[in-house]
């Protein structure tokens, strides 16, 4: 009997051999076509979204004739991601269909994709709490399904949002895990996108130099031959980091390039982000007219786009531009709406900036009371965020340090083992004299090293003592006046001096003794070190009199700092020394002026302090 493979070979080609190579069925051809369309649409997701829509339209038309639940779900997950950028109603329609195709009991990782898309929609609408809950579910479903690619995608979304709301360590952990998964899957584009997100997180933390290094690495690794959404997003984030540093010209060049690429790619959201950035640069340079034109161009492009955060950022730039154009009353509603949007989305950094701009606008309108209240709220947000940033950066650095310390410990153990082996071999070969010589040389080197270190530490300690008040630990009169003299020498009107005097301090010394008076001085200084806003240089002039020096400030801001320092002292608990007596301070405030000398500034501040004392004490007055 002729073997089957040989029989197949002898038969005519057109007849084939059914058992050896089955002929494909029409259903197989449909499945292959759908899979091909899906792969091409997925590839177009980051580079050509319009192509993605066209290919998924073709897939749905084919699925209408040949139903297939899983393949339809794959197509609609892609479409959901596409529409989440530009059409919230279309996104909801896709989510409704996906909910019917993928019930909660479905173990498929496609459900993770659906949950992620739902989260993106809520994030765009400013509901970050709901978005975070959906991302949490998506991560759990992707992990249960064992789909590393889907898991990496949803971890990226969760990590990015955690950075937006200020949970920096958790966000960084998600993004590092994402990067590891993409690296294992050898997805270079996704790796660069994730690295850019890590840079954005560092930028929000205020670590702009670290962020800059990451952005530079991403831009160097990216192909530069053609415009792409990947390059556009990375370049926009780089420009935003330069904006945060106040490098306006460099930021503007990058924003211009982003705008050109976004127009070439017909990427509407990219155009709006670039226009917002250019408006911010123009406002920073005092050109409210051009800034307002850029904002209005962005608002016209907005359409149905579900991105409340971006809309709020445009409103802030609109409010700033109108204030610069001396039309603050027109800009105030935009700033109030932006503050409310940022509040709903828990975007603390942006909310603080919007409140600060509202305060400036109200001040221009003459409403000083409300301006002061809003500026105090903005400053509190800034202080809370700074405290969180310090805590978060410490936690992150501690984790990194622990890892590096373990690595160093392992290296030291390895080196120690090698050294022990060499020592044992050397003991068998070396003479007693060689060993003694080595020991003496080592001891001499250690002694010299210790001596040099002690001299360096002694010098550093002596310098610190020369400039520090021994009782309070604050800079002493010499250092405080040196700082003030440096400010006055610049001849600018953007600095401030505050003189702070403890009320009735002589009575405290007389009634309770000088030792208690010293404890009061220490307690007041400790409160100021804990609660003083960033950038405030404190010092003790002598006795119960202190100073605070501010740079790049306004009178409203200086008065707010004085009030904050006054309240910090009022809250100090000194009952163990003073009983029910409360300690208060009076504060005199003045701004530096062109042509000032040290004596003039001190005289004005002292005069303001005298008015505070004459007005009843425990108050802040300005010159």
Query: Does residue 544 have an active-site annotation?
Result: yes
Can you list the residues of the chain whose pLDDT is less than 50?
A: 1-21, 394, 397-399, 401-410, 413-414, 458, 462
CA 524 to chain centre: 33
Q: Give me the catalytic one of 346, 544, 563, 621.
A: 544
Residue 46's pLDDT is 63
What pLDDT score does 392 carry?
A: 54
pLDDT at position 4 is 37
User: What is the reported pLDDT for 387?
Assistant: 65
Q: What's the rounded Cα separation, in Å, for the pair 58 and 71?
A: 13
- 242 contacts: CB under 8 Å, gap ≥ 6: 250, 251, 254
Q: 605, 615, 525, 611: which is closest to 558 by C-alpha?
A: 605
Residue 444: other Cβ atoms inside 10 A: 10
Phi, psi of 303 (to 5 degrees): 60, -130
What pLDDT is recorded for position 409?
Answer: 47
Give the HSE-up count for residue 221: Cα atoms under 13 Å, Cβ half-sphere: 16
DSSP 17: -
pLDDT of 163 = 80
Integer Cα distance of 78 and 90 in angstroms: 13
Identify the three-state secondary structure at position 246: coil
Q: Which H helix or E strand runs over 541? A: strand 537-542
Give pLDDT, residue 220. Answer: 76
Scanning the structure block, which residue is given the tokens 């100090």? 572
Distance CA 321, CA 198 (A): 31
- Residue-wise pLDDT tens digits, 3-51: 333 333 333 333 344 444 455 566 778 888 888 888 887 777 766 677 8
> pLDDT tens digits for 51-89?
888 888 888 888 888 888 888 888 888 888 777 777 778
Q: Is 549 helix (H, G, I), strand (E, B) or coil?
A: strand
**Structural domains in the chain, sorted by start:** 188-256 (1.25.40), 267-403 (1.25.40.10), 477-622 (3.30.70.270)
For residue 500, give the 3-state DSSP assignment. strand
pTM check: above 0.85: no
Q: How far is 31 from 109, CA to CA, in rounded Å?
A: 20
Instruction: Specify the 3-state DSSP secondary structure of 390.
Output: helix
Question: What pLDDT shows up at residue 584?
Answer: 95
């Amino acid at each position: 009997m002729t073997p089957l493979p040989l029989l197949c070979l002898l038969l005519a080609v057109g007849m084939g051999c059914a058992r050896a190579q089955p002929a494909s069925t029409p259903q197989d051809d449909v499945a292959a076509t759908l899979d091909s369309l899906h792969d091409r649409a997925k590839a177009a997701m980051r580079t050509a979204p319009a192509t993605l829509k066209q290919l998924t339209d073709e897939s749905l038309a084919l699925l209408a004739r040949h139903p297939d639940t899983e393949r339809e779900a794959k197509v609609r997950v892609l479409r959901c991601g596409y529409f989440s950028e530009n059409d919230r109603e279309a996104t909801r329609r896709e989510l409704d269909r996906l909910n019917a195709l993928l019930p909660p009991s479905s173990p498929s990782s496609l459900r993770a994709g659906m949950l992620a898309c739902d989260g993106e929609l809520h994030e765009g609408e400013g509901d970050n709490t709901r978005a975070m809950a959906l991302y949490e579910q998506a991560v759990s479903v992707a992990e249960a399904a064992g789909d590393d690619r889907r898991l990496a995608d949803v971890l990226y979304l969760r990590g990015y949002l955690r950075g937006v709301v200020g949970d920096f360590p958790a966000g960084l952990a998600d993004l590092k895990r994402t990067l590891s998964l993409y690296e294992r899957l050898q997805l270079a584009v996704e790796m660069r996108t994730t690295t850019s997100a890590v840079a954005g997180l560092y930028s929000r933390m205020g670590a702009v130099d670290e962020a800059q290094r990451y952005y530079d690495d991403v831009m160097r690794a990216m192909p530069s031959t053609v415009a792409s959404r990947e390059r556009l997003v990375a370049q926009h984030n780089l420009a935003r980091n330069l904006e945060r540093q106040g490098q306006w010209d460099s930021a503007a060049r990058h924003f211009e390039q982003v705008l050109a690429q976004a127009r070439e790619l017909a990427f509407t959201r990219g155009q709006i982000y670039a226009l917002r950035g250019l408006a911010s640069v123009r406002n920073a340079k005092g050109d409210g007219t051009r800034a307002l034109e850029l904002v209005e161009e962005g608002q016209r492009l907005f359409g149905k786009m579900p991105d409340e955060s971006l809309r709020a950022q445009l409103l802030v730039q609109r409010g700033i531009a109108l204030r610069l154009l001396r039309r603050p009353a027109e800009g105030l509603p935009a700033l109030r709406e932006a503050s409310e949007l940022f509040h709903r989305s828990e975007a603390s950094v942006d909310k603080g900036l919007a409140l600060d701009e509202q305060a400036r606008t109200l001040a221009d309108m003459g409403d000083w009371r409300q301006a002061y209240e809003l500026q105090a709220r903005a400053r509190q947000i800034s202080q809370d965020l700074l405290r969180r940033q310090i805590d978060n950066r410490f936690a992150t650095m501690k984790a990194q340090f622990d890892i590096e310390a373990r690595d160093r410990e392992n290296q030291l153990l390895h080196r120690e083992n090698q050294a022990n082996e060499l020592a044992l071999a050397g003991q068998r070969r070396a003479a007693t004299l060689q060993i003694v010589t080595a020991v003496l040389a080592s001891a001499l080197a250690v002694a010299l090293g210790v001596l040099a270190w002690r001299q360096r530490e002694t010098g550093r300690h002596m310098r610190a003592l020369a400039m520090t008040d021994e009782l309070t630990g604050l800079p002493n009169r010499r250092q405080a006046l040196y700082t003030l003299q440096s400010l006055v020498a610049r001849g600018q009107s953007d600095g401030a001096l505050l003189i702070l005097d403890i009320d009735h301090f002589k009575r405290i010394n007389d009634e309770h003794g000088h030792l208690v008076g010293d404890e009061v001085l220490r307690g007041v200084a400790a409160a100021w070190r804990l609660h003083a806003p960033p950038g405030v240089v404190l010092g003790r002039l002598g006795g119960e009199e202190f100073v605070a020096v501010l740079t790049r400030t306004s009178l409203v801001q200086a008065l707010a700092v004085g009030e904050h320092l006054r309240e910090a002292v009022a809250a100090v608990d000194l009952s163990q020394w003073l009983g029910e007596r409360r300690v208060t301070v009076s504060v005199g405030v003045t701004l530096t002026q062109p042509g000032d000398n040290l004596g003039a500034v001190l005289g004005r501040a002292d005069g303001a302090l005298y008015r505070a004392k004459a007005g009843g004490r425990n108050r802040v007055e300005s010159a």
